[in-house]
Amino acid sequence: MSNDAKTMTIWQRGLRSDLIACLLIGLIAVICFYAMPSGLSLLTRIIAIMLLVLSIDLVTGYGGVATLGHAALFGAGAYAAGIAAAKFGITDPLLMLLIGTIAGAIAGFLSSLVILRGHGLSQLVLSIAVIMLAREAANKFSTWTGGSDGLSGIAPSPLLGMWRFDLWGKTSYWLAVILLLVVFLILRQIVRSPFGMLVKAIRQDPIRVSAMGAPVYWTLVKMYVISGAVAGLGGALSAVATKVVGLDALSFELSAEAVVMLVLGGTANLFGAMIGTTVFIWFEHLVSSVNPFHWLTIVGVLLVTVVLFAPRGLTGIADQLRDKFGKGGAK
């Protein structure tokens, strides 16, 4: 079999597994829709944050770039979509999502020019500086952003002129599910492409990749732009669904929690980002409602336990169990 034929076979198998994963995600979405009709707003928020965590996985899990400022890209998308609706009357939800995606990509490009100049700890410091500057800028330009009061007056028109964004959040939920499926499929193709393989190689040994003549810096910049677009889409989705944008969309806490979600689920496989986000937010919601005074302590204990006993995250546990039982079945 020729190399091209082998490559095509591998690509077809990967696409088949991705489609199966999408069917599974769709099935879970349908079950959640009917099982939790009053919790659709929470589920929509989970998907919006999931897009942010997926974007971090691209640069951190695959590219090895340390960042704690990715909420700046999420917030850029949220504010861009919100300003477009509240200040310029652009209320078509799909157009708002597009504007947020473009804003996130631009923010990703600009921030990458700064963050990628550092290495290791200096990258973390630069990323924190980026998110702080972005938050301060949003607070100062209160005429456009609403400042500490938040940006309100966002009223998206019916989706495709047919489905209104009602109080129960049904339209927002299904829009979020469709966006997640599309983004997941696109990102899976990107990380398996030659470009994605190059990014993985840079994470493992950037010096060797540079010695081979590959543009290490600009390859990571491109991945950062893609990551920014995904994060911006998540922010725009949040703006469309909640109809308000606050400074919390540009908070360091959001960036830090998103990284925790990624570590919880497992890095460099995309599935971990989705699983980690769901488990973290769902557990946080459940524990805070049961014990509103000590829920942070309980969440902290959970995270410490996972990091100590499952350093590869929840998906790492699943891989270990699969390997263990797979070998046992083979015997």
Task: Say yes or no to pLDDT of 168 above 90.
Answer: no
* CA distance linking residue 247 with residue 143, whole number of Å: 14
59 within some domain: yes
**Over 90: is that where the pLDDT of 166 sits?**
no
Domain assignment present for 276:
no
3-state secondary structure (DSSP) of residue 151:
strand
Residue 47 lies in a domain: yes
pLDDT of residue 331: 45
Instruction: Pick the closest to residue 238 from 256, 254, 219 (CA basis).
Output: 254
In a domain, 271, yes or no: no
294: helix, strand or coil: coil
**The pLDDT value given to residue 4:** 56
pLDDT the model gives residue 172 = 95
pLDDT tens per residue, range 198-227? 999 999 999 999 999 899 999 999 999 999
Residue type, 195: F
Q: Are 81 and 239 in contact (CB under 8 A)?
A: yes
pLDDT in tens, 271-325: 999 999 999 998 888 888 777 777 778 777 877 887 787 778 888 887 777 777 7
Q: Is the pLDDT of residue 17 over 60?
A: yes
The answer to whether position 321 is within a domain reads no
Number of domains making up the chain: 1
pLDDT, residue 10, reads 57
Residue 285 lies in a domain: no
Q: Which of 103-117, 256-270, 277-291, 297-311 has the lowest mean pLDDT?
A: 297-311
Residue 247 domain boundaries: 15-252
C-alpha dist (Å) from residue 191 to 22, 152, 164, 255, 289: 17, 37, 35, 23, 38
Q: Average pLDDT of 254-271?
A: 91
In a domain, 270, yes or no: no
pLDDT band for 330, please (50, 70, 90 cuts): very low
Q: Give the whole-number percent of the chain exceeding pLDDT 70.
A: 94
Does residue 44 contact residue 177 with C-beta atoms inside 8 Å? no
| Average pLDDT of the residues of the chain | 89
Does 97 score more than 90 pLDDT? yes
Residue 9 lies in a domain: no
Rounded distance between C-alpha atoms, residue 190 and residue 138, angstroms: 32
Over residues 111-119, mean pLDDT: 92
Predicted structure pTM score? 0.92
